[in-house]
Amino acid sequence: MAIMVGRETKVIVQGITGHQGQFHTKSMKEFGTKVVGGVTPGKGGSAVEGVPVFETVHEAVEQTGANSSCIFVPARFAKDAVFEAVNAGLGLVVVITEHIPFLDAMEFVNYAKLRETTVIGPNCPGVTSPEFGKIGIMPSKMFAKGDVGVISRSGTLTYEIVNALTEAGIGQTTCVGIGGDPIIGSNFVEVLSRFEKDRKTKRLVMVGEIGGTAEEEAAEYIREHVSKPVFAYIAGRSAPQGKRMGHAGAIISRGRGTAESKIKALEAAGVVVAQLPTDIPGLMLGK
Amino acid sequence: MAIMVGRETKVIVQGITGHQGQFHTKSMKEFGTKVVGGVTPGKGGSAVEGVPVFETVHEAVEQTGANSSCIFVPARFAKDAVFEAVNAGLGLVVVITEHIPFLDAMEFVNYAKLRETTVIGPNCPGVTSPEFGKIGIMPSKMFAKGDVGVISRSGTLTYEIVNALTEAGIGQTTCVGIGGDPIIGSNFVEVLSRFEKDRKTKRLVMVGEIGGTAEEEAAEYIREHVSKPVFAYIAGRSAPQGKRMGHAGAIISRGRGTAESKIKALEAAGVVVAQLPTDIPGLMLGK
Amino acid sequence: MAARPVDEVRNLKLFEYRAKQLMGKYGIPVPRGAVARTPGEILSVDYPVAVKAQVLVGGRGKAGGIKFADNLEDAKSRAGEILAMNIKGERVKSVLLEERLEVARELYLSYVIDRSSRSVLLMASGDGGVEIENVPQERIAMVPVPPFGYSPFISKILKTAFGLNDDQSKQVDALARNLYGMFISEDCELAEINPLVLTAGGQIIAADSKVTINDDALFRHPEFSEDMDDLTPLEQRAKQEDIAFVQLDGNIGVIANGAGLTMATLDILTINGGRAGVFLDLGGTDDPKKVTRALALMKDAGPGVIFLNIFGGITKCDTVAMGVREAVQTIGIDIPIVARIRGVNDDIAREILKEIGIESSTDLIEAARKAVKAAVK
Amino acid sequence: MAARPVDEVRNLKLFEYRAKQLMGKYGIPVPRGAVARTPGEILSVDYPVAVKAQVLVGGRGKAGGIKFADNLEDAKSRAGEILAMNIKGERVKSVLLEERLEVARELYLSYVIDRSSRSVLLMASGDGGVEIENVPQERIAMVPVPPFGYSPFISKILKTAFGLNDDQSKQVDALARNLYGMFISEDCELAEINPLVLTAGGQIIAADSKVTINDDALFRHPEFSEDMDDLTPLEQRAKQEDIAFVQLDGNIGVIANGAGLTMATLDILTINGGRAGVFLDLGGTDDPKKVTRALALMKDAGPGVIFLNIFGGITKCDTVAMGVREAVQTIGIDIPIVARIRGVNDDIAREILKEIGIESSTDLIEAARKAVKAAVK
């Protein structure tokens, strides 16, 4: 078992004919993912990496039975692409595209929630279940099958940590890059709750960053609802505070948002917090 | 146990100072419901039936810890009233008001779903759990505690059937009047799924009507997900078809929507369908 | 709760010419046309012209309600013929004279309030025309419009569903967007274009239009008050009273409270061999005067017997009984009344009715049988 | 993925006078005022007047950046003083001369993109003024605006939160509605009025305004291109390259890919006794030229050593190495480079770097220690 990506996952790639779309379609297929179709308006009828291209998501779903999408379309068209995927009834939509305006992301995240579609991202590396496949852009080589669930706000740092886990002989059920934007489709709490329910997942790794209060909220959730051991790293202990403008941010965060606040909250919830990302495998192995 | 209304239920009445609001606040209290506050803009600081009146729902929630609302405000203000209740984080909002424009109902139903608030109605008699209380306008006298869950699209007909059940010695866990409007917050399927999970509820009574395809969808759901015996009555076998305009309705319903279609679908799902509403107690008692 | 007339939702149906005026206002291309209530009103139109009966029932074409004319004289006589018609029980009061389109293809496009998806549902098919409901499901695109508004992706779906080129697709996109705007702004329950015509010249035009407005939203649209005149005088009275009123072909007049109970009452009468001639749903009321006016309405509808079936809740039984007493004493109801009374204050109600000579029962089946027997007499 | 500069989200901060121009455009009452870049630009204003430094950092008032004047001469000399100031490292380039308000009460109102509720969050308090963040939570109303738009109930909440009479409430309702309209139409990330002033005359006026625009939405708002000038030349270059660039006070120049890895790199350096002087996040790229330009930027920032920490994924290691080679060979990088390379194509990358004399490690800690050592020299 794994979360989000499983045996039944059939993926379409929106923006499949673009440079990134093509490259990662190939990579996803090589990883063993069932990529069943692509969508690029105006290119319907063609094929990319042996995958048929359709004019609309609805058509692609009808013809291929797809249930998931990986979105590479440019930021200014991304909102409509997600709307289309959600409207077509897909269960999982992974939005790789970065630089999507907040209000656009907010709208598609709301729409997805209304229609019970899970959105990962935007501005994320996607989801990889080593046993079943990957939706997104994570480098394929670094994964190994195992019992650890990884959730991360950061892209490259995830690779760093997953790589270290694999080298230490610790495999993964699923790695979820939730994305670093302020408005994202699935946050720590939502992904934690899935891992908690997944029987194959025995331990969790959580990679956070300074800014926002998502890690503090995750800590609260872990304390009340997560029975599995959680190991975390929070990036940005030594990063400078940004020049904040206005009072609104301070009112919302009320002193939370710093690395100290996050680490304190997580430790209070029983989470083992690593000083450096590369310390995580050692901590998991009890070294 | 019961569904929707339980030991923890604390109700505010929106539109409490109106004629209906006052009358039913009294009736709900007499039934044992914890009515903790009311809201009428401009009347904050006063009291109705010993219940404090507030200017806003947010204030009422802050002061009383209310988690449910019963809405009696006039149709043209109802959308905003539901929005306010949902925004304040209430878990259950029962909308008694009738004649709410469809588009208004659609909007508040969507907003409620986004914020995970359960809406019952609009244009409904509300929810009654004989053991814990009632939110709405169902006549108090007819209920008895027991193990039957009742779901109904019709108001008065529900009273007829519940009364017959009680007279036959069959009590109820909860009776939910979901409302007869085309756009409602909770449909048969959603309420059925709650009754299925409720341990105290052993048997179900479902009261449908001609029009729409909600009963057919319920039948499908029952076949796949409901383990408890279901008894149903569908009103309108002998009612004339309305003069339909345009083709859209026919495209959507595709022959469904008639009493025959609904009865056939329910019977195929193992539901016992009564010829007359008053037959239901006899069927339940195996007469 | 008020009842909906049987399987219909509450709506105000607009005549074709009114629907097209409305669409025109929202920038939707419609054929040039003019409406006439008498042949004399027809002055000059572009010929050839289609003369179309303005009725709200379906199947007008098959019933001969659409004819064609090549000149003024011709148009007047065709209009005269149609204005004398009665289509499926509906008298033709006006005709629409409209330019004839050179039809290349007939498409289908509609928006409707959809119960299941709780959204405005867009439906589109390349196989437009009168028999659209028989087109296989998979050839009709059904798209619940996101609650945040019409979205660009819909245009791609329409292009594919209709099989259009880029220019046609642009026209359809603008039309579909504007129609959605109209649907929301005017509180429609249905906005249907069938056929949506692609002309030989490559234009997209709404050749026939059906629009219904959500009754409950009419307070936001006072301009539709003039469109109410398709109701019979009794229906109009009922509407003013917020009483659901439907005329049928039996001879028992049913008065009940609540849509479900009203329909259940019809079922019970039918099973017991009776037939309702009219039914009338009081809805929820605490006003005896409304009950009195309902009885007056029922008297004018003239059934052989009145079956009063009340389960008191919001509408208390004694309120109803007081209204009945007032009707009997002031209006004089010369039709026998069979009453079945249950629920809140039913004991008081039974006393009141007894005073004016009406025996009432608590048992539904027994009362129904009595009403059927009385109707047969 | 591109990085956000540390704990800030991507945004364009507007100067107060620009924020007020924008608010004025949306019908929000703001004080009469004029902006001046030199005392000579001040011609005539209504006195008494407030002379306010236009800077983007907070705490301007305490730093002496707001002064008052009663006549032209006075205004010019106050302006001259302020225009010579440097507030928390930010040079004052312009002043806003504004009518002085007779303040009866100071309120607080803002909209902000809120991560937790994934909505536009309205915050309002009757306790406005500079120390609003210290007001107890329960005295600040926080309302996530429904995604369907500003709703009437919000006006009731504002009335209660602010403690207003009906007339004031109407003013505030219009203002809050217009501010929300501005927030959405202009893709704001923050729109804050603090204080929102209730004047002695009963008027509601936005006395101080802070607005930030979401950078990623600037393609919809080309008119803000003139508001970019608060960046240093290096920051501006970085922005054009889509490189997150932050200047700090150590002497190690960090180049990494991805926000998380960049921050983790800072953490590792700090733990090992080093301090970054600048960091630069390449983000995801497949263009060696971007890497070359990043190195040029780093060269101009002038750290003592460059620590290149790459974990290849989207950004392949060989792409980075090629960019570095190009920079070394054409621009000439005279600062020592310590490299740590892992991930996609790291073997090729190490070969390329070796050719130009850069030894690279795969071990993060080891490389970090080496960089710290090099910086100390």
- Counting one residue from C and one from D, how many pairs have CB atoms under 8 Å apart? 3
Mind telling me how many Å the CA of A125 is from chain B's nearest CA? 26
D119 interface with B at CB cutoff 8 Å = no
Identify the pLDDT of residue C285. 84
Do D243 and D264 share a structural domain?
yes
Residue D7's pLDDT is 40
Taking Cα atoms as reference points, which of A218, A209, A215, A146 lies closest to residue A175?
A: A146
Which residues on adjacent β-strands are paired with residue D205?
Answer: D197
Q: How many CB pairs under 8 A join A and C?
A: 38
C327 found inside a domain: yes
C243 and C365 belong to one structural domain: yes
Q: Are residues C258 and C317 in the same domain?
A: yes
Q: Does C259 touch chain A (CB under 8 A)?
A: no
CA B96 to chain centre: 9
pLDDT category of residue C178 using cuts at 50, 70 and 90: very high
| Dihedral sign from CA coordinates of C286, B180, C339, C304 | positive
DSSP state of C4: P
Taking residues C135-151, report their average pLDDT: 95
A102 with D189: Cβ contact below 8 A: yes
User: Collapsing DSSP states into helix, strand and coil, what is residue D159?
Assistant: helix
- The reply to whether C356 falls in a domain is yes
In order of B279, C13, C58, C280, C282, the CA distances from C230 in angstroms are 40, 8, 15, 19, 22
Nearest CA in chain D to B84: D153
pLDDT 10s digits, C262-275: 999 999 999 999 99
Is D377's pLDDT higher than 80? no
Task: Return the active site residues of C.
Answer: 108, 192
Residue of B nearest to A109 (CA): B114
**Sign of the Cα pseudo-torsion (D128, D131, D133, D137, in order):** negative
CB contact under 8 A, B180 and C3: yes
What is the average pLDDT score of chain B? 94
Residues C197 and C237 reside in one and the same domain:
no
If you count residue pairs, one on B and one on C, with CB atoms under 8 Å apart, how many are there? 216
- Would you list which residues of chain B are within 8 Å, Cβ to Cβ, of chain D? 41, 44, 55-59, 62, 80-81, 83-84, 86-87, 107, 110-111, 114
User: In terms of pLDDT, which residue wins out, D7 or B4?
Assistant: B4
Distance of alpha carbon C339 from alpha carbon C323, whole angstroms: 13
pLDDT in tens, D289-344: 999 999 999 999 999 999 999 998 878 899 999 999 999 999 999 999 999 999 88
Query: Which of C13, C114, C342 is facing B163, going by the closest CB pair?
Result: C342
Query: Are residues C197 and C268 located together in one domain of the fold?
Result: no
**Contact between B56 and D144 using a beta-carbon 8 Å cutoff:** no
Q: Is residue C47 part of a domain?
A: yes
- Measured between its terminal Cα atoms, the distance across chain A in Å is 28
Q: Which letter, b or e, does each residue of B210-225 get, where b requires 16 or more Cβ atoms within 10 Å of its Cβ? A: bbbbbbbbbbebbeee
Q: How far is A63 from chain D (nearest CA, A)?
A: 31
- pLDDT at residue D247 in the model: 83
Close Cβ partners of B247 (under 8 Å, ≥ 6 residues apart): C108, C110, C132, C133, C192, C194
Amino acid at A277: P
Q: Which chains touch D (3 or more CB pairs under 8 A)?
A: A, B, C
What is the C-alpha separation between D298 and A222, in angstroms, rounded? 41
| Rounded distance between C-alpha atoms, residue C350 and residue C318, angstroms | 8
**B217–chain A nearest CA distance, Å:** 17
**Quick one: closest CA in C to A44, which residue?**
C160
Whether C64 and chain A come into contact, CB under 8 Å, resolves to no
Confidence of residue C1 (pLDDT cuts 50, 70, 90): very low
Backbone angles phi, psi at C302, to 5 degrees: 65, 50
Interface with chain B: mutation pick from C8, C267, C275, highest number of B CBs within 10 Å: C267
Please give the residue that has the higher pLDDT: either D131 or D299. Answer: D299
- Residue D148 touches chain C, beta carbons under 8 Å: yes
Q: What ipTM was estimated for this complex?
A: 0.93
| Cα–Cα distance for residue pair D71/D125, rounded to 1 Å | 35
Q: Do A157 and D271 touch (CB under 8 A)?
A: no
SS3 label, residue D375: helix
Chain C nearest-CA distance from D110, in A, is: 24
Min mean pLDDT across B113-117, C229-233, C348-352, D210-214 is at: C229-233
Q: With respect to residue C143, please indicate whether it lies within any of the assigned structural domains.
A: yes
Choose one of C184, C219, C254: the last residue of a domain. C219
C206 and C268 part of one domain: no
Choose among D349, D351, D331: nearest CA to D341.
D349
* Cα angle D148-D150-D151, degrees, rounded to a multiple of 5: 90
Q: Among B19, B58, B99, B247, which one carries the catalytic annotation?
A: B247
| Residue ranges making up the domain that contains C126 | 103-219
Output phi, psi for A235, to 5 deg.
-80, 145
- Could you tell me if residue C358 is inside a domain? yes
Continuous H helices in D58-188: 72-83, 152-162, 166-185
**Is position D142 within any domain?**
yes
pLDDT in tens, A156-201: 899 999 999 999 999 999 999 999 899 999 999 999 999 999 999 9
Residue D12 pairs in a beta bridge with D213
The alpha-carbon gap from C291 to the nearest alpha carbon of chain D, in Å, equals 37
Q: What is the pLDDT of residues C314-346, one digit of tens each?
A: 788 999 999 999 999 999 999 999 999 998 899
* Span of C157-166, C222-231, D151-160 with lowest mean pLDDT: C222-231
Domains observed in chain A: 11-120 (3.40.50.720), 139-284 (3.40.50.261)
Chains that touch A (3 or more CB pairs under 8 A): B, C, D
Nearby residues of B254 by Cβ (< 8 Å), 6 or more positions away: C133, C137
pLDDT at residue A243, as a whole number: 58
**Same domain membership, residue D355 and residue D339:** yes
Check whether residue D238 and residue D355 sit in a common domain.
yes
Cα separation, D183 vs D265, whole angstroms: 36
Boundary residue ending a domain (D99, D126, D145): D99
At residue B242, the pLDDT reads 63
Q: Give the C-alpha separation, D211 to D16, whole Å.
A: 8
Give the end of a domain, one of D83, D99, D115.
D99
A 10 A CB-CB count for C329 gives 11
Does residue C321 belong to any structural domain of this protein? yes
The domain that holds D115 is classified in CATH as 3.30.470.20
Q: How far is C148 from chain D (nearest CA, A)?
A: 7
Q: Are strands C119-125 and C66-69 parallel, antiparallel or unpaired?
A: unpaired
Residue B208 near residue B157, CB atoms below 8 Å: no
For residue A18, report the phi and psi dihedrals to the nearest 5 degrees.
Answer: -75, 170
pLDDT of residue D186: 98
Same-domain status, D254 and D141 = no
The closest alpha carbon to D207, from D23, D354, D352, belongs to D23
Give which of D195, D222, D178 is closest to D109, Cα–Cα: D195
Structure tokens at A123: 């501005």
Give the separation between CA B255 and CA B262, rounded to whole angstroms: 10
Question: D219 in contact with C at a CB cutoff of 8 Å?
Answer: no
Chain A residues whose C-beta sits inside 8 Å of any chain B C-beta? 110, 113-114
Q: Return the closest-CA partner of residue D174 out of D154, D190, D200, D195.
A: D154
CB contact under 8 A, A110 and B114: yes
pLDDT band at D285 (very low <50, low <70, confident <90, very high): confident
C92 and C108 belong to one structural domain: no
Structure tokens at D9: 């989200």
Residues D255 and D345 in one domain: yes
Among B84, B103, B106, B115, the residue to mutate for chain D (most D Cβ within 10 A):
B84
pLDDT of residue D233: 81
**What pLDDT, on the 0 to 100 scale, is given for residue D1?**
31
Residue B126 region, left (φ>0) first, then alpha (ψ -120 to 50), else beta? left
Which CATH number does the domain housing residue D275 bear?
A: 3.40.50.261
Could you tell me the CA-to-CA distances from B226 to B158, B269, B273 in Å, in that order? 21, 10, 16
The answer to whether residues D5 and A242 touch, using CB atoms and an 8 Å cutoff, is yes
- Cα gap B140→B124, rounded to integer Å: 16
Asked if residue D250 and residue D156 are part of one domain, the reply reads no
Tell which C residues from 122 to 141 touch A, by Cβ distance under 8 Å: 138, 141
Whether the full predicted model's pTM is greater than 0.90, yes or no, is: yes
Q: State how far the Cα of C172 lies from the Cα of C183, in Å rounded to an integer.
A: 16
Four-residue CA torsion sign, C337, C341, C346, C350: positive
Would the CA dihedral through D350, D353, D359, D361 be positive or negative? negative
3-state secondary structure B73-117: CCHHHHHHHHHHHHHCCCCEEEECCCCCCHHHHHHHHHHHHHCCC
Residue C139, token pair as written in the block: 């050839």
Confidence band of C10 (pLDDT split at 50, 70, 90): low
> Could you tell me which chains touch chain C, where touching means 3 or more CB pairs under 8 A?
A, B, D
C313 touching chain B per CB within 8 A: yes
Residue A244 has pLDDT above 80, yes or no: no
Burial track B134-166 (b if 16+ CB lie within 10 A, e otherwise) = bbbbbbbebbbebebbbbbbbbbbbbbbbbbbb
Mutation site, A27, A95, A247, interface D, largest D CB count within 10 A: A247
State the smallest CA–CA distance between residue D184 and chain A in angstroms: 8
Contact: B87, D143; criterion CB under 8 Å: yes
Please give the tally of structural domains in chain D. 3
CATH of the domain at C62: 3.30.1490.20
Residue D19 lies in a domain: no
Q: Is the pLDDT of residue A275 over 70?
A: yes
Q: Pick the residue of D139, D140, D153, D166 with the most B CBs within 10 A to test the interface with B by mutation.
A: D153
Q: Please provide the DSSP assignment of chain A as one string.
A: --SSS-TT--EEEETTTSHHHHHHHHHHHHTT--EEEEE-TT-TT-EETTEEEESSHHHHHHHH---EEEE---HHHHHHHHHHHHHTT-SEEEE------HHHHHHHHHHHHHTT-EEE-SS--EEEETTTEEEE---STT--EEEEEEEES-SHHHHHHHHHHHHTT--EEEEEE--SSSS-SS-HHHHHHHHHH-SS--EEEEEEESSSSHHHHHHHHHHHH--S-EEEEEE-TTSPPP---SSHHHHHHTT-SSHHHHHHHHHHTT-EEESSGGGHHHHHTT-
Query: Do residues C207 and C231 make contact, with C-beta atoms less than 8 angstroms apart?
Result: no
pLDDT of residue A239: 81
The answer to whether C219 contacts chain A (CB < 8 Å) is: no
